[in-house]
Amino acid sequence: IKVRSIEVLVYCFVYDNFRLYSLPWDSPWTWYICLLGIDFCFYWAHRIAHEVNFIWAIHQAHHSAEDFVFTSALRQAVLQPFTAWMTYVPLALFIPPPIFLAHLQLGELYMFWLHTEVIHKLGPLEYIFNTPSHHRVHHARNPKYIDRNYAGTFIIWDRMFGTFEPEDPNEPIVYGLVHPVQSYNPFYLQLHHWGAMYEKMKSLPGWKNKILVPFMGPGWEPGKPRLGLREDIPKIEHPVAIWDPQIHLIDKIYVVYHFALTILFYHELTERHGEMHQFIVTCSILSLIATITSLGFILEGR
């Protein structure tokens, strides 16, 4: 299970130094309050990640997949923990860190199964819980579905704050970014929106407009609402063409084999890095990054 160290370290620091009260760890009510509190904070962290341009530049990598399968949940933004921690800090004023961490990880596990097209609507559960149907809407690039369904576990937050949109059988979902990213380069996938943001800042007149670009919505332009206009979102062109570069079978076998070795190498590194010199650890990390990048180039046919 992934441990998001930045969020946990900041949380523990605030709890140790600034907590107002410590709820009893062995009370069921503490766990219930933490469950609702973390999910409420996640909703706002997630919504901010879509509505503030420089945080969207970090989060967009998670939405870049044009397929919607379980592995889409693993397509994470490497810098996300550096911004998400801010919304969880208020909980540190009264909820013990072990309970916070337990719910944080359980929330991660819950959201993993939401990334699928196999599971259809789940009846009455759709009114309370976030489900694959609701999350498919969130990952869509159809103009109707943009900036909807930010929930983690409970969809009630979207219903309360006006960001809920049900899946419409008459509006087939198309996944990915509104400007699809045709690359397997991990650096480009993680960082390309920073370049787009810079180009937008250069193109706008006036220093005020340039400074506002990182803090407004990704679709904002001078004279328009903070989040831009929905009619400016690119329409879906049919038939939908999903980017799928074709490579030889031998190249696919090569990539699968070396990716398996990379996972084994990563596992060994995480197990033994405490026994290794820092220089060796650094070189190993650079080797992992170079390998993954090279495999991406092969998948692109380069």
Are residues 263 and 216 part of one domain?
no
Same domain (yes/no): 224, 152: yes
Indicate if 228 and 169 belong to the same structural domain.
Answer: yes
Share of the chain above pLDDT 70, in %: 99
Q: How far is C-alpha 167 from the geometric centre of its chain's CA atoms?
A: 20
Per residue in 8-64, pLDDT (tens digit) is: 889 999 999 999 999 999 999 999 999 999 999 999 999 999 999 999 999 999 999
Euclidean distance between CA atoms 73 and 107, whole angstroms: 12
- The values of phi and psi at residue 154, to 5°, are -110, 125
**Cα–Cα separations (whole angstroms), residue 84 to 7, 60, 92, 148, 180:** 7, 14, 14, 19, 25
Query: What is the pLDDT, as a whole number, of residue 4?
Result: 61
Same domain, 116 and 255: no
96 and 17 part of one domain: yes
Q: Tell me which of 208, 228, 243 is where a domain ends.
A: 243
Looking at the fold, whether 221 and 291 belong to one and the same domain comes out as no
Q: What is the DSSP string of the chain?
A: ----HHHHHHHHHHHHHH-S----TT-HHHHHHHHHHHHHHHHHHHHHHHHSHHHHHHHGGGG--SS-SGGGGG---TTTHHHHHHHHGGGGGTS-HHHHHHHHHHHHHHHHTTS-SSS---GGGGGTB--HHHHHHHTB-SGGGTT----SSBTHHHHHHT---PPPTTS---BS-SS------HHHHHHHHHHHHHHHHHHSSSHHHHHHTTTS-TT--TTS-TT--GGGSPPPPSS---------HHHHHHHHHHHHHHHHHHHHHHHHGGGS-HHHHHHHHHHHHHHHHHHHHHHTT-
For the chain, the domain total comes to 2
Domain end position, chosen among 227, 243, 259? 243
CA–CA distance, 176 with 146 (Å, rounded to integer): 11
Residues 239 and 253 occupy one common structural domain: no
Q: Are residues 229 and 260 in the same domain?
A: no
Rounded distance, CA 200 to CA 194, Å?
Answer: 10
- 3: pLDDT strictly greater than 70: no
168 in Cβ contact with 144 (< 8 Å)? yes
> Does 159 have pLDDT greater than 70?
yes
Q: What is the pLDDT of residues 226-280, one digit of tens each?
A: 999 999 999 998 888 888 899 999 999 999 999 999 999 999 999 998 899 999 9
Domain enclosing residue 290, as ranges: 249-299
Partnered with residue 175 across adjacent β-strands are 140
Assess whether 1 and 110 both reside in one domain.
yes
39 and 160 share one domain: yes
Radius of gyration of the chain (CA): 21
> Model's pTM, two decimal places?
0.91
Query: Model confidence over 83-123: pLDDT tens digits?
Result: 888 899 999 999 999 999 999 999 999 999 999 999 999 99
Q: Which residue has the tokens 């049900």?
A: 166
Cis bond upstream, residue 186 (ω within 30): no
User: Among the three residues 210, 226, 243, which one is the final residue of a domain in this structure?
Assistant: 243
Q: What is the pLDDT of residue 102?
A: 94
Give the separation between CA 245 and CA 182, rounded to whole angstroms: 9
Tell me: do 239 and 254 sit in the same domain.
no
Does 215 share its domain with 287?
no
